[in-house]
Amino acid sequence: MTEATEGFDLVVLGGGSAGYAAVLRGAQLGLRTAMVEKYKLGGTCLHNGCIPTKALLHAGEVADRSRDAQLFGVRATFEGIDMPAVQRYKDKTVDSLCKGLTGLVKARDITYIEGEGRLSSPTSVDVNGQRIQGRHVLLATGSVPKSLPGLQIDGDRIISSDHALVLDRVPKSAIILGGGVIGVEFASAWKSFGSDVTVIEGLKHLVPAEDEDSSKLLEDAFRKRGIKFNLGTFFEKAEYTQDGVKVTLADGKVFEAEVLLVAVGRGPVSQGLGYEEAGVAMDRGYVLVDEYMRTNVPTISAVGDLVPTLQLAHVGFAEGILVAERLAGLRTVPIDYDGVPRVTYCHPEVASVGLTEAKAKEIYGADKVVALKYNLAGNGKSKILKTAGEIKLVQVEDGAVVGVHMVGDRMGEQVGEAQLIYNWEALPAEVAQLFHAYPAQSEALGEAHLALAGKPLYTHD
Task: Report d(CA 190, CA 171) in Å as an integer.
Answer: 8
368 vs 204, 289, 371, 393, 430, CA distance in Å? Answer: 26, 33, 10, 14, 20
**Cβ neighbours of residue 274 closer than 8 Å, sequence gap 6 or more:** 118, 119, 120
Say if CB 394 and CB 406 are below 8 A apart.
no
Total residue length of the chain: 461
What single-letter amino acid sits at 305? D
- CA 271, CA 273: separation in Å to the nearest integer? 6
How do beta strands 369-375 and 173-177 pair?
Answer: unpaired
| Cβ within 8 Å of residue 364, ≥6 positions away | 396, 402
Instruction: List b or e across 307-346, with b for residues whose CB sees 16 or more CB atoms inside 10 angstroms.
Output: bebbbbbbbbbbbbbbbbbbbbeeebeebeebbbbbbbbb
Residue 4's SS3 state is coil
Model confidence over 80-119: pLDDT tens digits?
999 999 999 999 999 999 999 999 999 999 999 999 999 9
Using an 8 Å Cβ cutoff, are 428 and 452 in contact?
Answer: yes
Instruction: Judge contact between 132 and 274, C-beta under 8 A.
Output: no
pLDDT at 168: 92
Phi, psi angle pair for 212, to nearest 5°? -60, -35
Query: Which residues have C-beta within 8 Å of that of residue 260, sequence separation ≥ 6?
Result: 157, 158, 159, 174, 175, 176, 177, 238, 245, 247
pLDDT, position 172: 97
* Predicted pLDDT of residue 7: 86
Answer whether 260's CB lies under 8 Å from 274's CB.
no
- pLDDT at residue 3, as a whole number: 62
Tell me, what's the pLDDT at 458?
Answer: 74
Which residues of the chain fall below pLDDT 50? 5
pLDDT at 4: 56
